[in-house]
Structure 1
């Protein structure tokens, strides 16, 4: 499976339009999660509605996952190529309280929690908060 943006979109059954390719490339170039507002400011050729629809298409097709980091703004991060966004594939997220960037910590899966049969888990979210490495270096 190729890491070319066109192939990534096709493998997720997403039509590779110019805007979708642009948004995907932005995600590939960024190490932290992106909000709609951040995308809008960095991709000045795109309007908010088109970007929102692109994010929702990416999320529906499991190309990105949304993150609620407590800031009140949804952020999105690129999924791994094999991700199906199942609860057992969830990973930890880290939110920097200094720069407000949110990062996926993919090498740290969320520990499995056994619940009674009366609960059916559909989403899992574990958010750690503190100061990121870049902000610690600047201090």
Structure 2
């Protein structure tokens, strides 16, 4: 994910209308340091100085202010990713995800955008979740060696 310094993180939060508190900065840094979407449990492991409910409150606020978007990858828990667009999370933030059914990792294919679909009149999409499930190359390699 994008390498942001402290100043850029503060500016991003302020542009999104979020007061940059210590907890919010910690959560955003943890999200940005991961190249794949992360769950609440993942964040709890990364940020040992915050409890689960505090992290959840920050994520809820981030969702309301379009700092992040959430998606379900088939693992049974929501995964969170930082929206890189300035306003609301746009369809350009949406990309293909791949969920490995063997190792349970979610991969982002940021260069493969979600196909645009024609919707009936007056329907406006705000979020698209395009998930492909299967076996990642590493698991496939291990599987074929057996």
Q: How does the TM-score come out when normalised to structure 2?
A: 0.79
1:40 aligns with 2:44: yes
1:115 aligns with 2:88: no
Structure 1 unmatched runs, 5+: none
Residue 125 of structure 1, CA deviation: 1.5
Q: What is the match of residue 104 of structure 1?
A: 108
Q: What is the match of residue 76 of structure 2?
A: 72
Which aligned pairs between 1:18-97 and structure 2 lie closer than 5 A? 18-82=22-86, 84-87=88-91, 89-97=93-101
1:120 to 1:62, Cα distance in 2 relative to 1, 3 A: closer
Across the two proteins, how many residue pairs are aligned to each other?
Answer: 138
Structure 2 unmatched runs, 5+: none
> 1 CA distance for matches of 2:46 and 2:81?
16
> 1 CA distance for matches of 2:36 and 2:120?
35
Q: How does the TM-score come out when normalised to structure 1?
A: 0.83
1:30 to 1:134, Cα distance in 2 relative to 1, 3 A: farther
RMSD value, Cα: 2.4
| 8 Å contact from structure 1 (residues 9, 16) kept in 2 | yes
| 8 Å contact from structure 1 (residues 35, 73) kept in 2 | yes
1:9 to 7, 10, 13: 13
Give a deviation string over 1:29-58, Cα, whole Å, max 9, x none.
Answer: 111111111111221111111100100111
